[in-house]
Amino acid sequence: MSLRRISVTTVIFLFALPLMAGNPYRLRYGAAETGMGTVTLTNPHFTGFFQNQALLAYNNSLGLGVNYESRFNLKELSFASFGCIVPFSGGSLGAVYSQYGTTDLRRIFGGIAIGLELGERVAGGVQIDYIGENVYDGYNDTHAVTFEIGTAIKLNEKTIFGANIFNPLPQQLRNSYLPSSISLGVGSYISDKVFMAAESLLTTGERIVVKTGFQFEVVRNLLLRGGYTTENNSFCFGVGYRLKPVKIDFSFLAHESLGRSSSISLLFLFN
């Protein structure tokens, strides 16, 4: 394996870190979430369950999902993830795995989550995360374990508030390089066919990120999505189609300087 190949891969990987929306050590967004401006806290989708674990409490289907994202058409920046959700009385369990990069230099993410109904209008969830970075020679590998918590509150029949805290440990107790982040958001069905949401994300050492998005059911089972995030001034667009037991979603995110990223998600739901 040539030194030049490793050097190029390393440069691309490190250059990409500031381009990752929000906290780069968290699970990447799925196609449905990206299409809505990367909002995740209030509208349950495949990776949204692992961005706000409280949403698992409202799931009543066995689910298997996969997601692939191509960032700027560079294989070194591509993401792939898959996960499963298993419901039980009063909540759901979930597990997810994601990989970013190549065999020369890659980051992996694994999470196990649970979401429970805590009351008539309140749900909570927790997730244990593993984050690892692997270098081709194996000498500079890093590994970290942390956790995150989420909550969801139904303000009324159409409006929900969501929050998530990632790596909520005081600095003096941390034994890893991982930053912390907190997300707050609200989403509402303004009609039977239109859902709108807004969120804010604050990560250690970074500027606050604001996200907005919408989802519109154009015709039965056909969804149109759009959104905007202040992270890199990115506009987003997506479409989704539901054909039981399969949900398929596509999305596109336009970076202000580097062009377009695209993603696709497949979710299989079995009642």
CA dist 147 and 222 (Å) reads: 35
With beta carbons less than 8 A apart as the criterion, state whether 228 and 238 touch.
no
5-14, 45-54, 205-214: segment of lowest average pLDDT:
5-14
Quick one: DSSP state of residue 141? -
**Between 141 and 88, residue with greater pLDDT:** 88
Would you tell me how many other CB atoms lie within 10 Å of the CB of residue 131?
Answer: 23
* Residue 191: partners with Cβ closer than 8 Å, 6 or more residues away: none
Give pLDDT tens digits for 195-239.
999 999 999 889 999 999 999 999 999 999 999 999 889 999 999
Residue 21 C-beta-side C-alpha neighbours within 13 Å: 31
- Say yes or no to pLDDT of 20 above 80: no
Give pLDDT tens digits for 54-108.
999 999 899 999 999 988 777 777 889 999 999 999 899 999 999 988 777 888 9
* Residue 140: partners with Cβ closer than 8 Å, 6 or more residues away: none
| Residue range 246-269: mean pLDDT, rounded | 89
- Amino acid in position 236: C
CA dist 32 and 13 (Å) reads: 25
- Say yes or no to pLDDT of 36 above 70: yes
Q: Pick the most confident of 8-12, 105-109, 136-140.
A: 105-109
Strand partners, 133: 107, 142
Smallest Cα–Cα separation from 78: which of 109, 103, 100?
100
pLDDT the model gives residue 172: 66
The CA-atom distances, in angstroms, between 231 and each of 51, 174, 241 are 17, 27, 27
- Say yes or no to pLDDT of 256 above 60: yes
Quick one: DSSP state of residue 29? P
39-48, 157-166, 182-191, 225-234: segment of lowest average pLDDT:
39-48
> 207: left (phi > 0), else alpha (psi -120 to 50), else beta?
beta
- Amino acid in position 94: G
Average of per-residue pLDDT values in the chain: 87
CATH of 3-270, one of 2.60.40.1180, 3.40.50.300, 2.40.160.60, 2.40.50.140: 2.40.160.60
Token output for 247: 């949900």
pTM score: 0.86
Cα-Cα-Cα-Cα dihedral of 35, 37, 38, 40, to 10°?
Answer: -90
* Residue 120: partners with Cβ closer than 8 Å, 6 or more residues away: none
**Between 177 and 41, residue with greater pLDDT:** 41
**Between 194 and 172, residue with greater pLDDT:** 194
Banded pLDDT at 178 (limits 50, 70, 90): confident
With beta carbons less than 8 A apart as the criterion, state whether 236 and 213 touch.
yes
- Say yes or no to pLDDT of 21 above 60: no
With beta carbons less than 8 A apart as the criterion, state whether 45 and 33 touch.
yes
39-48, 95-104, 166-175, 229-238: segment of lowest average pLDDT:
166-175
Cα–chain-centroid distance for residue 58?
18
pLDDT the model gives residue 174: 65
Strands 246-255 and 234-243: antiparallel
> 259: left (phi > 0), else alpha (psi -120 to 50), else beta?
left
- Say yes or no to pLDDT of 32 above 70: yes
**Between 42 and 271, residue with greater pLDDT:** 42
